[in-house]
Amino acid sequence: MIKFFRTIRQKMITEGKFSKYILYAIGEIVLVVIGILIALSINNWNEKRKDNILKQTFLLKLKSNLQDDISKFKEVGVLIKSNIRPLSIHHTAGKECFLIASIQLKYMENL
């Protein structure tokens, strides 16, 4: 293909058809520019595609992390609810429980 265009170009120069050669050269430049523009648009499309894949991955990881956090909060909620009843029982006992707890702490400090 390149050989074909080279022969056309040389033929025009040797025959003295300079104006046709200029048109031919401008045509080649236009084709090169069109090729570059096509390559740039393909590159831009590919970059957008990569960005979308990265966004999807990030959103999926974020969703997974949020679901993990929700399940952990539910577990903590269950633990808190299970400890509310014993705390309320100790609260009704009043000062006696506080006294027992402070005696236990002093005993543990002496160990």
Q: How far is CA 33 from CA 6, 16, 36, 37, in A?
A: 19, 27, 5, 6
Length of the chain counted residue by residue: 111
Quick: pLDDT tens for 2-54.
777 778 777 777 777 777 777 878 888 999 999 999 999 999 999 999 999 99
pLDDT digit string, tens, across residues 52-109: 999 999 999 999 999 999 999 888 888 777 766 665 555 555 555 555 555 555 555 5
Closest listed residue to residue 100, CA positions, set 63, 89, 111? 89
Q: Which domain holds residue 59?
A: 2-110
Total domain count, the chain? 1
Single pTM value for the model: 0.49
